[in-house]
Structure 1
Amino acid sequence: MTRSTVFAPFDIVEGDRKRGIVLVADHARRDLPEEYGSLGLPAAELDRHIAYDIGVETVTRELAAALDVPAVIANFSRLLIDPNRGEDDPTLIRQLYDGTVVPGNYPMAPQERERRLDGFYRPYQDAVGAMIASVAHASGKAPFIFSVHSFTPVMQGFIRPWHVGILWDLDDRVARPLIDMLAQDKNLVVGDNEPYDGALRGDTMFKHAIVNGFAHALIEIRQDLISDRKGALAWAQRLAPIVDAIDRRPDMHQVKMFGSRTGPL
């Protein structure tokens, strides 16, 4: 974990914007601005899944390099504020996460909540929106958005059986072929809207893909499979030809409004 006096809320990985693909990594890092210290947590807690999606930064950077596409990576821990939640989501700033109390988040004054929104959450979301707009302009077509996440093998005592899961709402243009292609490997247990449901109002995919009719999906890779560089690189290499093949499908760069299971757009 690194800290600096000037804290950049996001990082841009450059790639060929004419390809029409954008990668996003909402939970890739566990960093905290210097003024927040460790949010009152022991250092070991910041190594856990509660602080970030283990392995995702390497997978995202390697996948971006393999495909030659840009990516937007959030630089702050989701314990500070979760960039993959709506601003009105009660889990936006967690005070308790998987059994761990976060002292620096309790109590949460309205002024501090707004400070974190303005200083970290909104700049990241603005960067995602700006990249999508730039890619759309450069490519001359509706972009394909791919969000990379990872999940802990055990949550609240439940051993999760999946190696990977694909999250989606109503637009299955990316999700269905992605699930089918991954499932061709009979050694993989592939979750369909597991271990979470992809219908989450206000999250990054909702804000930037669903409401605009852009093809998209969110992948969740089990963290023990990508916790070291070798595993993360292997998954990036596995995903690159699959994402490339999906990108070539005829409807991938068309605007299509599917709506959302969360309610009217």
Structure 2
Amino acid sequence: MATIYELLEVAARPVLEAMPDRVAADDFYHPDFSDEEVRALGPLSGDPADLAVEVERHTMMANMLANTPFGDQGELNEAGMKVFSLFLRGSVRAALSGVFAMSPGAADIRCYADGESAFLWSVRPDGGVDFCLDEFPAFASLILDYLPSSPDGVSEPIRILVDGHGVVAEGQDDKVGAVQDFLARERTGTTLVDLVAFGGLCSEYPEHAMVVVDNDLGRHSLAVLSTGESRRELVLMPSSRALMTEWFGKSVEAGRTGF
């Protein structure tokens, strides 16, 4: 029986091969950390046996804060406390992993927010880091400003009905073939988008995948959408900055309201 997972694997393969240890959206998420634990970047213990671990963590933080506006003498300042609070406790979390023909290395874009503020952390191929702190409504813009651009997609949408196990319903061979043909075109970019918002899972490869594919037909998204308790769709649709901004906004709001 054909399933959507073969198509999703082909769509995501460039990223899966280039970034086998890519960061997930909920990595480093510790919503119950106290302010003291945020300052220490980890749990605090009164056990002397844990002192060495805490000292090592503090040294790592001091090195990490060097040459950033977030620390003073190895300690988090006010801006740093805000940033690392979002990083560790922010309930809106996006992780974008991408590879692009015109860019060396891989794109690693992460954004963390709490409904008031948003913090973007983008790791460059050379290992350097770019960061931005803004108000929450800028969440999508922060991400898309760092995602390499591509012309708007021009293909017609393709919708493939599948069951709860991802098995393609009968009579859709032509649609599956059309998606296969699209994915066989030479790529200029591929991005996996993982997003959680206020406790709701919005996208995550593979069960709730959102794969952005750039080729000569422009930017398109291949996404798994739920249409009921036991029915889903694999949808290939044209994309653009405006459509991605709308998707982020609707997804975050769905997470806030409980889908």
What interval of TM-score do these two structures reach, taking the shorter chain for normalisation?
Answer: under 0.3
The structure carrying a bigger strand percent of its residues is 2
TM-score, normalization by structure 2: 0.27
TM-score, normalization by structure 1: 0.26
Higher relative contact order (CA 8 A, sep 6+): 1
